[in-house]
């Protein structure tokens, strides 16, 4: 039931903006659904976007995901630290004939109490940020139905984004109808 509620929030936030064309993100505010154990809240960030450099900021909190093309690696930076992200996997997902290159990035790979997974679309930026230790995650909330479908594809693809370490007991599954 919780998974169904989550899917409704993320995928059907607004059926008014039904478009099959790819939308570029603009420098504006962006909303994420923050889940922590079995509670959820909304977090809004100001997004600055330039190529594959994404800066997210809100009062008291900011972080950046940057692609260094010279060294061909992703970097994470916040107000306390900066680190190279481990590229675990990169895959192309197709939604309504549009191809999306998704990078699965790991911060603090192998650290018992701090490993994080970041799912980044090379055009739209951060889609999902999930702790690999604790039951907390950040999911992009959007009115773009194609982007919502892409997020759903990613979080339900057990080979690309396994739920193996998820201790929240909330599993995301593809919806299906019985006929």
Joined tokens for residue 22: 């790819």
Joined tokens for residue 167: 């201790």
Nearest to 3 by CA among 137, 143, 132: 137
Confidence of residue 103 (pLDDT cuts 50, 70, 90): very high
pLDDT greater at residue 176 or residue 104:
104
- DSSP H/E element including 51: none
pLDDT at 100 over 60: yes
Whole-model pTM? Answer: 0.74
The Cα 105–Cα 119 span in angstroms is: 6
Q: Is the dihedral of CA 24, 30, 33, 34 positive or negative?
A: positive
Return the minimum-mean-pLDDT range out of 17-21, 64-68, 101-105, 141-145: 17-21
Confidence of residue 114 (pLDDT cuts 50, 70, 90): confident
Joined tokens for residue 140: 């992009």
Place of tokens 């992703």: 74
pLDDT at 101 over 90: yes
Nearest to 118 by CA among 43, 67, 44: 67
Nearest to 45 by CA among 27, 24, 22: 27
pLDDT at 20 over 70: no
- Estimate to the nearest angstrom the gap between the alpha carbon of 179 and the chain centroid: 32
DSSP 128: E
Q: For 5-28, what is the mean pLDDT?
A: 43
**Cα-trace Rg, the chain:** 16
Answer whether 36's CB lies under 8 Å from 135's CB: yes
- DSSP H/E element including 78: strand 73-78
Confidence of residue 133 (pLDDT cuts 50, 70, 90): confident
Confidence of residue 161 (pLDDT cuts 50, 70, 90): confident
């Amino acid at each position: 039931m919780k998974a169904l509620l989550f899917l409704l929030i993320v995928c059907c936030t607004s059926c008014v903006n039904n478009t099959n064309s790819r939308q570029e993100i603009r420098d504006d505010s962006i909303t994420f659904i923050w889940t922590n154990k079995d509670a959820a809240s909304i977090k809004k960030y100001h997004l600055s976007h330039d190529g594959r450099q994404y800066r997210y900021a809100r009062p008291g909190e900011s972080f950046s995901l940057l692609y260094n093309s010279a060294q061909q690696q992703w970097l994470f930076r916040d107000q306390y630290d900066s680190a190279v992200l481990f590229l675990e996997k990169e895959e192309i997902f197709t939604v309504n004939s549009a191809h999306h290159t998704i990078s699965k990035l790991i911060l603090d790979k192998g650290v018992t109490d701090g490993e994080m997974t970041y799912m980044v679309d090379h055009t739209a930026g951060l889609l999902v940020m999930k702790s690999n230790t604790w039951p907390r995650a950040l999911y992009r909330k959007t009115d773009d139905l194609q982007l919502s479908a892409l997020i759903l594809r990613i979080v339900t693809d057990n080979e690309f984004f396994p739920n193996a370490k998820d201790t929240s007991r909330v599993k995301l599954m593809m919806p299906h109808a019985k006929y």
